[in-house]
Amino acid sequence: MDDTDVVQVENPILFYCRSCKKLVSEPVRKGTKYEYSCPDCKEDRVVFGTQRAICDFFQVNPPKKNG
């Protein structure tokens, strides 16, 4: 496989705060585990997943692409 066969995906993982009910662009990681907190509300209720999973489960609109 050469470099032309690789598909580039921008940020395939989304973070969603259950308290704020919005997408979080840069959550704060807590310790060495996969636990994140929201920089806005400071709560530990941030979940992550693929764009399709987060948008389908929480009924949010996918983020708009820049460009």
When pLDDT is cut at 50, 70 and 90, the band that residue 27 belongs to is very high
Per-residue pLDDT at 22 exceeds 70:
yes
Q: Is 23 exposed, middle or buried (0-12, 13-18, 19+ CB in 10 A)?
A: middle
Count up the domains in the chain and report the number: 1
Residue 33 located in a structural domain: yes
Residue 2 lies in a domain: no
pTM of the model: 0.76
Domain of 19, in residue numbers: 9-58
Instruction: Determine the Cα–Cα distance for residues 17 and 28; give it in Å rounded to an integer.
Output: 11
Segment 11-26 shows an average pLDDT of 91
pLDDT of residue 8: 56
Residue 66: half-sphere exposure toward Cβ, Cα within 13 Å: 2
pLDDT digits (tens, 9 = 90+) for 42-62: 999 999 999 999 999 999 988
Q: Decide if 4 is inside a domain.
A: no
